[in-house]
Amino acid sequence: MGFMYYKKLDKLLSQSIYGLKSEDKYPVFIDAVLEVTRHHYEKCKPYRRFCEKRMFNPDSFSTLDDLTYLPTSLFKDVLLLSVPEDEVFREIKSSATSTGRSSRIGLDKETSRRQSKCFNKVVLDRIGDDRREFIVLDESSSLGKGSVVTARSSTIRSLLFCSSEAHTCIVEENGQLRLDENKLDTLLKMAEKNPGNFIIFGFTFILYIHVIQKLLESGKKYELAGAKILHIGGWKKLESAKVTPEKLVSDCCEVLGVLKEDIVDFYGFTEQAGLIYPTCEEGVRHTPVWADVIVRDPLSLRSLPIREEGLLQFITPIQTSYPGHSVLTEDVGYIIGVDECSCGRKGKTFKVVGRAEKAEVRGCGDIMGDKFA
Amino acid sequence: MSDIREKCTKVMSKVFEVDASRINDETSPDSLPQWDSLGHVQMVLGLEKMFSIKISPEEGIDLETFKMIVDCIEKKTEN
């Protein structure tokens, strides 16, 4: 079957990622969201039933606040689809959580390609359009192939599109993970010769607990000014270890000698795979032209004004194979401002401060942390 | 077959481990399951080496079919 043509979505995706002011972005954005919402309403029966129960009809919505949202728990166990099942060529499963239930996301080729393009554009905007060597804080099998992939290996593989080479430095022994300290030392010494050509990538918990903290303890230091550190996924365990994002940044600078603005913390979640929110040079996250964020009160679920903390809801029309276009997460955060960040990027700026208290531990870094010896 | 087409076919055939006869203008990640994100990077690196050129990550994103690859290399190797 040929690809569907989403005229308004295509128009949205052709806009500058962070170049539009709100008054220019929202007319184009809402048009595309409406187009895609209608598609899901027509093609995905469970989504339609969900909307009907909430008295929501795509033809009656006027503001993004009206758009019904699916909680992330709805993606667990059941594969929600807005395309025939035989068009799903890849399924992504989130990291297994403490309850053992992971989210299931079905991608057709069109959605997968669209997500990749959006992801790649955001990454390049943040780290620059150069091919670099990657030091991946993971094991080599995470770079493997397969039709059902874990979110963890999918994330790593997605990022390697801008690599010239990828090195790994974690080994698996008897089902447990272990950092190969000698190999990491060799790789970091190699990177010292031309730091600008290197990216160190890892899940947040692994980066801090198994690399930075160990280097702090050993007193080893490196001179890597110009190298970039990218990390993603799962702050819950670091919170319990009393490690704040600010501490992570200052400790990385101290032991690796990298510059503060070159440490990039990516936020994203499986239910909207392809959407990624890196911290900018000022340390905050921006919505690209194809996404929006709303903060909701955890009890009343009404939307909250700027600076007030609540649950984060993300809206994006980039998925057409499943109704992941409006998702209420269990992550807590707040909006800082709109179109006014001094880094120059437009869009809403926001901070993610943690997970709701009753939320399960999830996030690749946290789950992977359990596997360390 | 032009020299560029032949060399591009050679790179793709080697990276994706498929017979050269399976590669034509329309060949894309949709028709070749081996052409996934990692395969794509290996292919781009193979093309850079084969033609002694640089293909930036952004340029790499747009290489979605064999024809697009050949067009890109032709432009880059002009002169």
Tens of pLDDT, residues A115-165: 999 999 999 999 999 999 999 998 887 776 554 566 677 788 888 999 999
Which range has the worst mean pLDDT, A26-30, A193-197, A234-238, A359-363?
A359-363
Q: Which residue of A has its CA nearest to B62?
A: A117
Residues A59 and A282: their CA atoms lie apart, in Å, by: 39
Q: Which residues of B touch A157 (CB under 8 A)?
A: 36-38
Which range has the worst mean pLDDT, A92-96, A139-143, A212-216, A331-335?
A92-96
Tens of pLDDT, residues A62-84: 889 999 999 988 888 788 999 99
**Could you say which architecture CATH assigns to the domain A115-267+363-369?**
3-Layer(aba) Sandwich (3.40)
- B41 near A CB under 8 A: yes
> 3-state DSSP helix/strand/coil percent for chain A, to nearest 5?
40, 25, 35
Residue among A157, A158, A162 minimizing CB distance to B57: A162
**Which of residues A98 and A229 earns the better pLDDT score?**
A229
Residue among A124, A131, A160 minimizing CB distance to B38: A160
- A120 near B CB under 8 A: yes
Contact A117 B56 (CB under 8 A): no
Residue among B37, B58, B60 minimizing CB distance to A157: B37
**């200052």: which residue's tokens?**
A250
Contact B61 A163 (CB under 8 A): no
- A164 near B CB under 8 A: yes
Contact B41 A163 (CB under 8 A): yes
Span A309-337, average pLDDT: 96
Tens of pLDDT, residues A329-340: 999 999 999 999
Positions in chain B whose pLDDT score sits under 70: 1, 79
Q: How far is CA A333 from the centre of its chain?
A: 15
Provide the CATH number for the domain formed by B3-76 in this structure. 1.10.1200.10
Identity of the residue numbered A23: E
- Residue A238 is predicted with a pLDDT of 77
Contact B38 A113 (CB under 8 A): no
Residues B35 and A151: their CA atoms lie apart, in Å, by: 19
| pLDDT for A42 beyond 90 | yes
The beta-strand segments (E) located in B1-79 are none
Which range has the worst mean pLDDT, A148-157, A273-282, A317-326, B52-61?
A148-157
Contact A124 B38 (CB under 8 A): no
- Residue A1 is predicted with a pLDDT of 46
- A54 near B CB under 8 A: no
Residue ranges of alpha helices (H) inside chain A are 7-13, 22-43, 45-53, 109-127, 151-159, 181-192, 204-205, 213-218, 236-240, 245-256, 364-369
Contacts of residue A122, Cβ cutoff 8 Å, sequence gap at least 6: A17, A276, A277, A278, A288
CB burial of B26-43 (b: ≥16 within 10 Å; e: otherwise) equals ebbbbebeebbbbbbbbb
Residue among B54, B60, B64 minimizing CB distance to A161: B60
Contacts 24+ apart (CB under 8 A), A336-340: A336/A284, A336/A306, A336/A307, A337/A306, A338/A22, A338/A306, A339/A21, A339/A22
ipTM confidence score: 0.84
- B46 near A CB under 8 A: no
Q: Which residue of A has its CA nearest to B36?
A: A145
Q: Which residues of B touch A143 (CB under 8 A)?
A: 38
How close does chain B come to A135, measured CA to CA in Å?
15
Identify the band that residue A281 occupies on the pLDDT scale cut at 50, 70 and 90: very high
Give the predicted TM-score (pTM) of the model: 0.90
- B29 near A CB under 8 A: yes
Q: Which residues of A touch B42 (CB under 8 A)?
A: none
| pLDDT for A50 beyond 50 | yes
Q: Which residue of A has its CA nearest to B46?
A: A164
Q: What distance, in Å, lies between the first and last C-alpha atoms of chain B?
A: 20
Residue among A129, A143, A158 minimizing CB distance to B57: A129
Which range has the worst mean pLDDT, A164-173, A342-351, B5-14?
A164-173
